Amino acid sequence: MPPRPVVQQGQTLRVWQRKALMEYLRGKREDFLAVATPGAGKTTFALRVALELFADGTIDNVTVVAPTEHLKTQWAEAAARVGIDLDAGFRNSDVHASSDFHGTVVTYAQVGIAPAVHKRRTITRKTLVVLDEIHHAGDSRSWGDGVRAAFEPAVRRLMLTGTPFRSDDNPIPFVQYERGMDGLQRSRADTVYGYADALQDGVVRPVIFLAYSGETRWRTSAGDELAARLGEPMTQDLIAQAWRTALDPTGEWMQQVLRAADARLQNLRAGGIPDAGGLVIASDQQSARSYAKVLGEITGEKAVVVLSDDVGASGRIAAFSASQERWMVAVRMVSEGVDIPRLAVGVYATSASTPLFFAQAIGRFVRARRQGETATVFVPSVPHLLELASEMEAQRNHVLGEPKTKDGLDDDLLERAQRAEDASGELEKRFEALSATAELDQIIFDGATFGLPAQTGTPEEEEYLGLPGLLTPDQVSALLSKRQAEQLAAQKRSAPAATIAEPAPAQQPRTAGERRIVLRRQLNTLVAAHHHRTGLPHGKIHAELRRLCGGPPSAQATIEQLEERIATVQTL
C-alpha cells in the first residue's frame, strides 16, 4: 500500500468548493450529492474530500465510477496531481486491485456487469465511492441495481453531477428524493452551484448562441417534395425532417454554418485567445467524417475526428487538447465530462434534443481559463433548442412520476428521421435531402434574444462573427444591444430611400413568421430601453416578463404572448 495521501501546500479551492467541503465535513453523511455546473471543478472538490477522509482515517480506499473509459484516464491523472494513485486499468477479471494504488477507477458498465466483484472490494476496505455523473446509474435497471449492490457497504458515497435531471422515472441510487406539494418526488442535492452563480464568480465563460434558420427542401418516402423554413412553427414531423435536411453534410446549410463558425474561431484567435479550438458535435459517424472533410476544404487544415468506438479516441482527445489544431469533430463521446479547456467555438450539428444532452454538450465550452473569455455555439434555429439555450441558468431536478409531455422535439422521432432507412432491392432511400440554405436568425445571450435576420456572408453577419472574444457578461449584453440598435437604425434609414425610389406597393398581410420577427424585434428594443433606464440585465427583464405574462422564452413565444409582453414592458 502506498503512503497515505495528505493535503499538500498550495492546493487552493474556489469559494463554492470550500463551502461545499465545510458542509460535507460538518454533516458526516454517508451519502452526499453535489450538483455543480460543468466546468465548475467537481473533480477537484471530490479529490479534496478524499484527501480529508484519508487524513482522519475515515477511509483507506477510493473507488471512482465514471461514465466512459476516457474519463477513467482523466480521473486518474487528476488524482495523481494531488497525490492519490488510482488504477484506471482495473478489470473485473482482476478481482483484486494492486496494492500499489490508493484505489481504482471503473465505469458504470463494469459495475453493472459484475457487481459482486466490486462489492467484495468495497467490503474488504473502508471505501469512499465517488459516483461521477451519478444520473448515469439510472440509464438501465442493471446499472442502477449493480451500483446499489456493489456500493451499499461503502463507508461514504459522494455523488457528483452537473445535470441531475433525467427524462425517465428510473430512480438514481443513493440519491434522496423529497415529495413536493404537487405529490411528485424530486431529487434533493446537499450542495448546489449553478451556472448563474459560476458565471457571476467568473468560474465559467458566458456563452453566446448564434441561431441559424434557412429554407430547406426534401423528398419524402412517398416521393413528395416538401419545403419549410427552419425555425418557423411546424408539426414535430416537419421540424424533424427540416432539421435533418439542414444537417445534411452535402447541403449548403452546414457548409455555410461551418464557414461562419470558422470565421468566428479565427476572430477569437486573433483577438486574444490564440489557442482557441472548435468542436462540431455530430449525430453519427458518417456525418462526423463528412463534416471533417468540409472543414478541411474550408480551412485547409485536417480536422481531428473522434469516434466513440475507436481504440485511439482518448489519445486523440488528449493530443487535441494540448495542441494548436483548430477543429475537432466528434459524435456523442465528447458531450460529457471531457475536459478540453481551449474549446471556444461549437457547432451543435446533432439531432439530440433532450435537456440532459444539450446541457452536457454546452458544458464542453464553458470552462473558464482567464477572465473575459467567451464561448460561441452555433445552433439550428429549432424552437426546442432555442428554449434550452434561453434557459441555460435554469435549475432542474430529477422528478419521479411527472407526466412526460412533448414540449419540444421527440428524440425517438428524430432518431427515426436520422436513420438511413435503406429499402430493399433497388429502391431509393425513403428520405432525401434536396437543398438547404442558412441565415443568421438571432443571437441568444443571458436569456435574451438580439439581432435581426442576416444572410450568411453579409456585413450584418460579420458584425456578430467579429464580436470580441474577451468580454465580461455585462459587456456582451451591452455590445449586443448596441449592435441591434445600429441594425434597427440602419433599417429605418433605408426605408425612406426605398419609398422615394419607387411607389410603395399596397400593404400585404404579413405571414405569421414575419409578424413574429417584427414583434420579437419590438420587444427586444423595449427591453433594451428598460435596461438603459434601470440597469437591470436583459435576461432578468425577460424573465420578469415571463413571470408576469407566462409562456416560454421570446424565441418560442406566440404572437399573442409577444404582444402581451410588449404591453407589459411599457408599464414597468
Q: How far apart are CA 108 and CA 196, in angstroms?
A: 30
Per-residue pLDDT band for 125 (boundaries 50, 70, 90) equals very high
What is the per-residue pLDDT for 388? Answer: 83
Residues 6+ apart with CB under 8 A from 18: none
Q: Give me the mean pLDDT over the 41-56 stretch.
A: 94
Q: How far apart are CA 522 and CA 16, in angstroms?
A: 40
Q: Which alpha helices (H) appear in 207-333, and where do they start and end?
A: 236-246, 252-270, 285-299, 313-321
Per-residue pLDDT band for 501 (boundaries 50, 70, 90) equals very low
What is the per-residue pLDDT for 383? Answer: 81
pLDDT tens digits for 9-29? 667 899 999 999 999 999 888
C-beta of residue 175 within 8 angstroms of C-beta of residue 397? no
What is the per-residue pLDDT for 357? Answer: 81
pLDDT tens digits for 304-363? 998 866 677 778 888 999 999 999 999 865 555 567 889 999 999 998 877 778 888 888
Order across the sheet with 86-87: list the strands: 86-87, 103-107, 61-66, 127-131, 156-161, 31-36, 191-193
pLDDT tens digits for 516-556? 777 877 787 777 677 767 777 666 787 788 888 888 777 66
What is the per-residue pLDDT for 532? Answer: 67
Q: Which three cell numbers stand for residue 197?
A: 452563480
E strands, 27-143, in order: 31-36, 61-66, 86-87, 103-107, 127-131
Per-residue pLDDT band for 412 (boundaries 50, 70, 90) equals very low
What is the per-residue pLDDT for 140? Answer: 62
Q: How far apart are CA 549 and CA 542, in angstroms?
A: 10
What is the per-residue pLDDT for 379? Answer: 95
pLDDT tens digits for 463-483? 888 888 888 787 887 888 788
Residues 6+ apart with CB under 8 A from 495: none
